[in-house]
Structure 1
Amino acid sequence: MPAKPKWAQLADLIREQIASGELAAGDKLPSTAQLCSQHGVSAGVVNHAMIVLKTEGLVEGVHGLGVFVTERSMD
């Protein structure tokens, strides 16, 4: 079985951090540059992961401020 794409791995990691409470509602996620550096991935990988998480309603982008964990629970 092929390995998961890097964007999916990153999305899974952030999803787990939200589920565990490590990232709580209202918390700001690290910047794209910080995530790239921390996980050794490109900006495209980070952007793809953010699109997936936004589509799932787990995070929301605020123009000029960053990406934040939404109030929605992960039931």
Structure 2
Amino acid sequence: MTAYTKKQKLIDALTERIESGEYPPGSKLPSGTELCAEFTVSRQVVRSAVDWLKARGLVDGAPGAGVFVRERASP
């Protein structure tokens, strides 16, 4: 599996977990180490996927604290 495919698979899984409420607004995402182990990907793939989620406004990073799901705007 290519790095792109692994990244897209991780993005899809995290997005689904956020949208389904498994990771509700304000909750902390699993650590990079945990995501690496669960999805069998490198830290670089995890960082790239998280950067994608940040760019789309789904999560925010707090230096030293982790990555948290953003509150969603009401439609």
For normalisation by structure 2, the TM-score amounts to 0.89
The amino acid across from 2:10 in the alignment is L
CA distance in 1, matches of 2:70, 2:5: 25
Q: How does 1:1-75 map to 2 (within 5 A)?
A: 5-73=5-73
* 1:36 Cα offset (Å): 0.3
Change (3 A) 1:20 1:57: same
* 1:73 Cα offset (Å): 4.8
- Runs of 4+ in structure 1 deviating by more than 6 angstroms, as ranges, are none
CA distance in 2, matches of 1:74, 1:30: 26
Change (3 A) 1:73 1:18: farther
For normalisation by structure 1, the TM-score amounts to 0.89
Contact 1:19 1:74 in 2 (8 A): no
Structure 2 residue ranges without an equivalent (≥5): none
